[in-house]
Chain A
Amino acid sequence: DVKVTQSSRYLVKRTGEKVFLECVQDMDHENMFWYRQDPGLGLRLIYFSYDVKMKEKGDIPEGYSVSREKKERFSLILESASTNQTSMYLCASSFTSGTIHEQYFGPGTRLTVT
């Protein structure tokens, strides 16, 4: 079974803090993604990566950065957390080659910025 793990289930941070969200997958997937999930807005893509050290902006990259130094690990960084970044953050991964592949999601990190 594919496993995608996220470093924290719940996180509370103060405004202005630097926040690191970590994601690890164990299936050698090329692609990794960070989404945020908000009620009524569904999932919105923040950043994705299709290879080590490669990254692409998604729909809402402002206020975020990412790092992918190893194939299995994809980190989301909030440089200076703000209250409007309070949300559920979901990490996902998928294969590239062959047929069209579905994404595998982690359990999510619920971040509260106060």
Chain B
Amino acid sequence: AQSVAQPEDQVNVAEGNPLTVKCTYSVSGNPYLFWYVQYPNRGLQFLLKYITGDNLVKGSYGFEAEFNKSQTSFHLKKPSALVSDSALYFCAVREALAGGYQKVTFGTGTKLQVIP
């Protein structure tokens, strides 16, 4: 069964510093990977996805993520954090299987706190 792990419940970073939110995955085949963000009292918003190709994926709001197959990781990064980036971040994985709909599995979420 596919799974995704977000090892940190909370990440604190000073405004202007680089940030990393970690995600590791487990699938038996090739993965499709996603990052979503949830601002307070809002639904989830899509940030970026990895399907195939370049291991560095660029997304919305200046975020990017690095796919590392050997380490089965898909860490979310941003070169310079903003206070407005403070939110709950979810990693998700969908396994690449033939035929039918494949379920997307979400991680437990990481709360990012950017300190002014």
Find out whether the CB atom of B49 lies under 8 angstroms from the CB atom of A103: no
Sample of 13 further A-B pairs with CB below 8 A, known A40-B9, A102-B46, A105-B44: A31-B101, A40-B108, A42-B107, A42-B108, A43-B90, A45-B104, A48-B103, A92-B44, A96-B101, A100-B32, A100-B51, A105-B43, A106-B43
Of B32, B45, B90, B94, which one neighbours A42 at CB under 8 angstroms?
B90
Task: Find chain B residues with CB under 8 A from A40 CB.
Answer: 9, 108
Of B9, B41, B46, B107, which one neighbours A103 at CB under 8 angstroms?
B46
| Minimal Cβ-Cβ distance residue in A for B91 | A42
- Can you report 12 residue pairs joining A to B where beta carbons are below 8 Å apart? A42-B90, A42-B106, A42-B107, A43-B44, A43-B106, A44-B106, A45-B103, A92-B44, A100-B32, A105-B36, A107-B43, A108-B41
Query: A66 in the interface, Cβ–Cβ < 8 Å?
Result: no
Query: B34 in the interface, Cβ–Cβ < 8 Å?
Result: yes
Binding site for A on B (CB under 8 A): 9, 32, 34, 36, 41-46, 49, 51, 90, 94, 101, 103-104, 106-109
Given known pairs A100-B49, A100-B51, the reply for A107 and B42 (CB within 8 Å) is yes
How many residue-residue contacts, CB under 8 A, span A and B?
49
Of A31, A48, A105, A108, which one neighbours B45 at CB under 8 angstroms?
A105
Q: For the complex, what is the distance from the CA of A106 to the CA of B104, rounded to whole Å?
A: 17
Q: How far is the CB of A108 from chain B (nearest CB, A)?
A: 5
Task: Find chain A residues with CB under 8 A from B90 CB.
Answer: 42-43
Task: Find chain A residues with CB under 8 A from B36 CB.
Answer: 105
Query: A111 in the interface, Cβ–Cβ < 8 Å?
Result: no
Q: How far is the CB of B42 from chain A (nearest CB, A)?
A: 6
